[in-house]
Amino acid sequence: MLQRIGADAEPDSLWMFGTELWLGFETKTECDPDGEISARAVREAGGHLNFAASSTSVKVPDGSFAVIISPQDRVHRPAVAVTAGRAAWCPLVAVAEVADRLTSAWTASGSGPAPSVRRRPRR
């Protein structure tokens, strides 16, 4: 888990499975459910991996990505062009399942205990 220091560009959460995989989260839960996920939200989510790499002086592991958690179920077409394969949409209810599967796989791989998963406090 990337330690939070209160910087402006910090991810809402970033799970770091050593140098194997990083999974960042950008929550957009207060947006209009009838809208679309914007290119700005996608760029912000993808930038979380870069922020973590800069903060830790570690290269982003191949295959790492960021998830946008949003009640919106449509993506603005130009947003797809800026994902660079590093951002995906996920409904809020699926996050717990993703966490369970990743931590189980990490533990089963023999890589040691899975990172703790903490929620970002609401401002």
Taking the C-alpha atoms of residue 55 and residue 3, their distance in angstroms, rounded to an integer, is: 9
With beta carbons less than 8 A apart as the criterion, state whether 70 and 47 touch.
no
Weakest mean pLDDT among 34-38, 91-95, 99-103: 91-95
- The pLDDT > 70 percentage for the chain reads 83
User: In whole angstroms, what is the distance from residue 77 CA to residue 121 CA?
Assistant: 32
pTM of the complete model beyond 0.85: no
- Structure confidence at residue 61 (pLDDT): 94
What is the CA 123 to chain-centroid distance, rounded? Answer: 19
Give the rounded percent of residues in the chain with a pLDDT score beyond 90. Answer: 9
Residue 72 has pLDDT above 90, yes or no: no
The pair of three-digit structure tokens given for residue 112, joined into one six-digit string: 């040691």
